[in-house]
Structure 1
Amino acid sequence: MNDAAVGEPFVRILANLAKAAPDAPAVTCGTESVTRAELERRATALAHAYQRLGVRQGDLVTIGLPNSVEFFAAQIAVWKVGATPQPVSWRLPLAERRAIVELADSALVVGVEAADHPDRVCLPAGFEPTAADIAAPPLPELVSPAWKAPTSGGSTGRPKIILAPSPAAITGTAAGEVMGMQSEDAQLVAGPLYHNAPLMFSSYGLLMGHHLVVQPKFDALQALELIDSHKVTWLQVVPTMMSRMLREFRQHPGRFDLSTIRVLWHMAAPCPVWLKQAWIDLLGPNVIWELYAGTEAIGGTIITGPEWLAHRGSVGKPALGELTILDDEGNPLPPGEVGEIFMRPWEGMPKPYKYLGAEIKRVGTWESIGDLGWLDDDGYLYMSDRRTDMIVTGGANVFPAEVESIINGYPGVIDSVVVGLPDDDLGQIVHAVVQADSNVTEDQLRDYLLDQIVRYKVPRAVEFVAEPLREDSGKVRRSLVREQAIARRTGAR
């Protein structure tokens, strides 16, 4: 292996961290906590088991485990045999998982029963290596050609696998340092590890010596308790988490100390202006950072808290690659006009991703993941919505994210999802599904919205639900919400 070309392998970095401070905490999840040395031993034994079961360098290994110490041990074990971790939701419907496993041609599927994939080698959750695996010496150092392969349904609406172009090795500045991480930070991992951001940042943290404080499932009150008790210094969240945490923080005045937080990143969904301002007021503008990018990492924008205060609502300027706004014919749009966001790497940069099972939308050298937005005169980007989510009602465009951000600012509202329902007269009507306290009424909400936005954007109907509308990652299956709303509407007639 040519270290100069590949960089320092992840597995060597982790082994060296375990040698340097074997008793330092590595991962805490629920009631289970392991040191660096314990995690290293566990991953090494698993790696021997995976290799014995036929996993080879360059293979993809599907990991269908919930957030847990077991997940991280499995991921490191996959790196140790030179293979690529391919995480999926442990609650993914079997048909979807089968399609992904087939696409990945997985050499091993971890966290599932053998009957689910009769043509694959499978290991159930809780699998324990044999005594021989545990007693075996460290494996020869191997490097995976792609360090991760998460799935995404973003721009196509159907699951696809996105192979990282980078091997499981570090060259130059560690990516975590770019994100403001410091050695031995305590990092809260609040999102599900089958999503790219929690997977990526927790991996960076491991490689920098962080103590990962992992939530099995996001819970806002527990997140605040963990920040307080573990003195968390770095975390990545999504706006849904921010809203729920803020709500709990305000309901328990004086209970939680958040002063240890040095860096808070938010991403993955548009953040309402009121919510971001509230967190800036709580932690200070220098603590709050925002990233806009896709799993594909074609390009991205970053904005600091102080910048945001001068450009309220923006997601920042390009920090990686170039960005432009194009109309439906592929022509550049001037500042202030909404169009599709296209990005491309800087000249000379390697291709940042490889799809399995999909093609990305291209206009010349520009590529799009399907989002809409506009630029101001200073080149700052503002998000509108995903093209596939846009509602056209009576010939007017309505962006669900805009309406949701206003609904979510109403006292008593926990979350909302806005969808377009078919209508013979208008083509589509705006419909809101709202999770709220019992004292919030449709009339109150409509009166509030009429004071905030133009009438055609105000939902024609509001449904109230008790259950959460989004996954722990902050993502929502909007098509499913729409289908269920149509079914309820049809059944009510």
Structure 2
Amino acid sequence: MLPNFLMKRVQLTPDRKALQTSTVTYTFREMMQEADLRARSLYAQGVKSHMRVALRAPSTVDTYLMIQACLLLQVELVLLNRRLTREEIDYQLADAEVSRIITDDFSFFEGCAIPLISLDDIREAPAISYSTQIERDATASIMYTSGTTGFPKGVRQTYGNHTANAMASITNLGFLPTDCWLCAMPLFHISGLSIVMRSLLYGMPVYLMEKFDALKSAQLIQEGKVTIMSVVAPTLRAIIEEMEQREWQASPKFRLMLAGGGVIPESYIERANALHLPIVQTYGMTETSSQTATLSSEDSLRKLGSVGKPLFFNDLKVGASNTPYEHGEIYVRGPHVTPGYIGKFADNSPLQDGWLATGDLGYFDEEGYLYILDRRKDLIISGGENIYPAEIEKVLARHEAIVEAGVCGVPDEQWGEVPAAYIVCDSEVREEEIIQFCAQHLARYKIPKHIYFCETLPRNASNKLLRRELRAWNYSKSNM
């Protein structure tokens, strides 16, 4: 059994700061009071413990407090991605068999047969009692993740999963009484929700941003008002650029940036270090409630490009042998790994002999540090040679004119597949210059055979590059 997270935290540190923005601050006691009001209102509108409830709302204070209310009630919270279409959302609602939908936008769900609850409709309701204990394997949250089947899978994240992940993280990153985690990741994404869970388990305040703001983030870091932040490559780059333009450096109070969501170009890490901005690369996924492996800060330069070693309670293997530098699929094992899916995939176990097959490709070095190569489904096989798009993207990111780049495989009569690069630039550059630049850093067969200039790249809500959409772009171009 585990304690009710919010109730236990209020018992331990009621007057410690829990949540803040640029305009409001809540202690854990005050957050409990707000969560209680919302939980009673939900209960009065038919929401009961262990009921499956969907939430679609922006990353505001009201949404944060509603998540706390749902944890207090111990409902199974289905977090919906606000970037999805109504058709995509309808599939998830039907698959999850939700009983209620909490939202700030009733118009989005026009014609939906499932009862809607307004995010800001907090009704007067009688007091209710909450269970002080939680089953470790009870479902806390459900998030949908795209799969190779074409149908998204509803991933169960239990209270035990969230607890194991938070505890493994703190054994690596440590915790100081002065810590404050800047949350600019969507709350419906595992990167955002895991910060909420860590806050409750550590007794740590969260500085919440509704939307990522590079200048504001840089200012908070420079002033030492936050000490930890989770980023992906595009948000890291934006912060670095803001700090470089203003000749700012990170405050000594700022401890680290947890960088994940894909490969981080080494040039970003080098530029960040010049700003005294410590970067630790991490590796995780929805099925692991966030982190599985993280590079320790003392190894950030010595093991540039690595995502580190598995956290304390976790295990990793590559392929069947774990032989140094042998490429293979990455497998994960540990108490943070989901026990399974819901709905359409409820009967499909995610585990093979206790191991989760991640679909990612990587390798260990001779010291046991993990390096991520790419997604297995994104691997380009050109004339029998394996090409990892992330490797090409890292090279392109080093070009001074290129803001961001995405690479995917496209059909080719001679070679089967060849790499194509989609590039966003902030200054004029010719295709020939890019090809010449790549030739200085890449084997000939890895050099992109097609260069497309575009204004933006397709990304999901957590800013991860969507290579499957790049492939669709190429298909569209070839059929124009």
Same fold (TM over 0.5): yes
Distance 1:151 1:129, change over 3 A: same
Matching of residue 416 in structure 1 with residue 376 in structure 2: no
Asked if structure 2 preserves the Cα contact closer than 8 Å seen for 1:151 and 1:160, the reply is yes
CA distance in 2, matches of 1:116, 1:230: 45
Aligned to 2:48: 56
CA distance in 1, matches of 2:165, 2:261: 27
Asked if structure 2 preserves the Cα contact closer than 8 Å seen for 1:143 and 1:168, the reply is no
Aligned to 1:289: 280
3-state DSSP of counterpart to 2:281:
strand
Matching of residue 380 in structure 1 with residue 369 in structure 2: yes
Distance 1:333 1:8, change over 3 A: closer
Match of 1:478 among 458, 464, 467: 467
CA distance in 2, matches of 1:378, 1:139: 52
Structure 2 alignment gaps of length 5 or more: none
Aligned to 2:396: 407
CA distance in 1, matches of 2:150, 2:157: 20
Match of 2:267 among 250, 255, 274: 274
Matching of residue 105 in structure 1 with residue 114 in structure 2: no
Asked if structure 1 preserves the Cα contact closer than 8 Å seen for 2:38 and 2:66, the reply is yes
3-state DSSP of counterpart to 2:218:
helix
Structure 1 alignment gaps of length 5 or more: 1-5
CA distance in 1, matches of 2:169, 2:299: 22
- 1:146-225 aligned within 5 A: 146-153=139-146, 158-166=151-159, 177-178=170-171, 179-183=173-177, 185-225=179-219
Aligned to 1:301: 293
Match of 1:137 among 127, 145, 158: 127
3-state DSSP of counterpart to 1:147:
strand
Aligned to 2:228: 234
CA distance in 1, matches of 2:163, 2:390: 37
Asked if structure 1 preserves the Cα contact closer than 8 Å seen for 2:280 and 2:300, the reply is no
- C-alpha deviation, 1:27, in angstroms: 2.9
Asked if structure 2 preserves the Cα contact closer than 8 Å seen for 1:196 and 1:295, the reply is yes
Matching of residue 70 in structure 1 with residue 62 in structure 2: yes
Aligned to 1:3: none
Distance 1:16 1:333, change over 3 A: closer
TM-score of the aligned structures, taking structure 2 as reference length: 0.88
User: Which piece of structure 1 moves more, 32-41 or 480-489?
Assistant: 32-41
CA distance in 1, matches of 2:471, 2:272: 31
CA distance in 2, matches of 1:308, 1:369: 24
User: Which piece of structure 1 moves more, 49-58 or 463-472?
Assistant: 463-472
Distance 1:257 1:379, change over 3 A: closer
Aligned to 1:428: 417
Match of 2:7 among 12, 30, 34: 12
- 1:38-53 aligned within 5 A: 38-53=30-45
Match of 2:381 among 387, 392, 413: 392
CA distance in 1, matches of 2:84, 2:460: 12
3-state DSSP of counterpart to 1:20:
coil
- C-alpha deviation, 1:117, in angstroms: 6.2
Asked if structure 2 preserves the Cα contact closer than 8 Å seen for 1:314 and 1:380, the reply is yes
Matching of residue 263 in structure 1 with residue 256 in structure 2: yes
CA distance in 2, matches of 1:123, 1:279: 44
The count of corresponding residues between Structure 1 and Structure 2 is: 469
- Letter of the structure 2 residue corresponding to residue 262 of structure 1: R
3-state DSSP of counterpart to 1:193:
coil
Asked if structure 2 preserves the Cα contact closer than 8 Å seen for 1:9 and 1:168, the reply is no
- Letter of the structure 1 residue corresponding to residue 281 of structure 2: E
3-state DSSP of counterpart to 1:451:
helix
CA distance in 1, matches of 2:195, 2:304: 26
User: Which piece of structure 1 moves more, 383-392 or 222-231?
Assistant: 222-231
CA distance in 1, matches of 2:180, 2:37: 26
3-state DSSP of counterpart to 1:310:
coil
TM-score of the aligned structures, taking structure 1 as reference length: 0.86
- C-alpha deviation, 1:73, in angstroms: 1.1
Query: What root-mean-square deviation, in Å, do the aligned CA atoms of Structure 1 and Structure 2 show?
Result: 2.9
Distance 1:352 1:379, change over 3 A: same
Identity %: 24
Deviations 1:225-283 (A, max 9, x none): 233456111211122221221122212214x6433211321122112222223323432
CA distance in 2, matches of 1:210, 1:457: 46
Asked if structure 2 preserves the Cα contact closer than 8 Å seen for 1:109 and 1:120, the reply is yes
- Letter of the structure 2 residue corresponding to residue 402 of structure 1: E
3-state DSSP of counterpart to 1:283:
coil
Distance 1:401 1:250, change over 3 A: same
Deviations 1:258-312 (A, max 9, x none): 332113211221122222233234326xx43232222222983222133243333
Deviations 1:415-468 (A, max 9, x none): 111011222332222111111113233222111111000111111111112235
3-state DSSP of counterpart to 2:252:
coil
CA distance in 1, matches of 2:265, 2:165: 36
Deviations 1:136-165 (A, max 9, x none): 435333556222222222665642222123
Matching of residue 311 in structure 1 with residue 303 in structure 2: yes
Distance 1:205 1:350, change over 3 A: closer
Asked if structure 2 preserves the Cα contact closer than 8 Å seen for 1:408 and 1:414, the reply is yes
CA distance in 2, matches of 1:446, 1:257: 36
Aligned to 2:245: 251
Distance 1:364 1:211, change over 3 A: closer
Match of 1:448 among 420, 423, 437: 437
Deviations 1:347-391 (A, max 9, x none): xx5964322243366554433110001122222221110111111
Distance 1:408 1:313, change over 3 A: same
CA distance in 1, matches of 2:293, 2:169: 17
